[in-house]
Amino acid sequence: MKISVLGPAGSYSEKAALFFFSKVLEKEADNEMVYFSDIESTVLSLWEKTGPDFAVIPLENSIEGAVGISMDLLNEKEACIATEIILRIDHCLLSLSDSMDEITAVYSHPQGIYQCRPFLRGRLKNARIIETESTSKAALLASKDFHAAAIASADAGKRYGLNVLESGIGSQKNNRTRFVLIYKKQDSQSGFQPDFQSFSPSDCLSNPVFKYVSENEFKKDETGHLYLKTSVISYLKNDKPGALYHILGAFFKNDINLTRIESRPSKKELGDYCFYIDFEGSTSDEHVSKAVEEAKSHSDRLKILGTYGRLAE
Ligand SMILES: O=C(O)C(=O)C[C@]1(C(=O)O)C=C[C@@H](O)C=C1
């Protein structure tokens, strides 16, 4: 199996993919990780001729919130979510040097920088902050400059021969990022931007992840059943009073617990948004398909990203 991730080696995205590999039923000798320099190329690789089976992308962080580019690509491209992977993020300050006094520049991914904002302001206020495409790229760059440091994982530090000047530098001890494993929508799947007529409740069963990972590996609910979530994106073209109220009402009426709602600009004009809604339940549950049908009737476009389980560290 081939998985695309944000590289170079040592990124948190790689960690999420390795965690997924560790859960795969039959360890295939040819399991392969392919590295890309940014999140967009990682996602687009799914459409290459000899593309991967899956791509792993970060979607949201407990401190910094949504990863915008990942959210947008889920809307723009015909990809489905196979599973979510929640990882603990423990950022370290890494450098060739062994003293913070030597540091004049700090490299990291924007998410890493924001997640460590109080530390940077408090302890490295005079250092230049330089954004990189990934935390592992930051570690790689810091390994070439004695006066630079990187914010990345301890594992990335080991890989690039850096000292850990300080660990646990995130602004929240319980820092977590939610990644999703995504795949290219298959032509046979109708659960994508469906006409409700063609929306088949069994679509979630075509989620290919269950071919690779035993159901036992996924989070269970209080009754011992598989904990499944569904993600949709609703676009309301006509801004009218109560539009969002009616969409959310569809879930409330069907007793469905929402786990996240987030808006993103539609990119059409200022003040025009898409709403990303995650909720508990599977599209094969009757009350979920009823709610989705109703939400769709109040939306100008409703895109189903998939029903999936959770792998958590
Ligand atoms: O830069 C990395 O190592 C990534 O995998 C990206 C990413 C992100 O974009 O959220 C992943 C986890 C952390 O939250 C910081 C950076």
Whether ligand 1 lies within 6 angstroms of the CB of 87 is answered as: no
Task: Tell me how far apart the alpha carbons of residues 5 and 170 are, in angstroms, rounded to a whole number.
Answer: 23
- What are 235's two structure tokens? 């676009």
The pLDDT assigned to 243 comes to: 83
What is the CA(295)–ligand 1 centre distance, in A? 32
CB proximity list for 149: less than 8 A, separation 6 or greater: 93, 94, 95, 97, 100, 103, 105, 106, 107, 124, 127, 142, 165
HSE-up of 90 (CA within 13 Å, CB side)?
8
135 lines ligand 1 (CB under 6 A): yes
Report d(CA 5, CA 122) in Å as an integer: 33
What average pLDDT does the structure give for the chain? 91
What's the fold here for domain 2-88+176-312?
Alpha-Beta Plaits (3.30.70)
Tell me if 70 CB under 6 Å of ligand 1: no
Q: Are strands 54-61 and 176-184 parallel, antiparallel or unpaired?
A: antiparallel
pLDDT band at 117 (very low <50, low <70, confident <90, very high): very high
ipTM beyond 0.95? yes
Q: Could you read off the pLDDT of 9-50 as tens digits, one per residue?
A: 999 999 999 999 999 887 766 789 999 999 999 999 999 999
Torsion of CA 291, 295, 298, 304, to 10 degrees: -140
For residue 160 the two structure tokens come to 């690039």
Closest ligand 1 atom to the C-alpha of 177?
Answer: 14
- Same fold yes or no, 2-88+176-312 and 92-167: no
CATH code of 92-167, in short, is 3.40.190.10
pLDDT at 194 over 70: no
Confirm or reject: Cβ of 109 under 6 Å from ligand 1.
Answer: yes
Domain boundaries, the chain: 2-88+176-312, 92-167
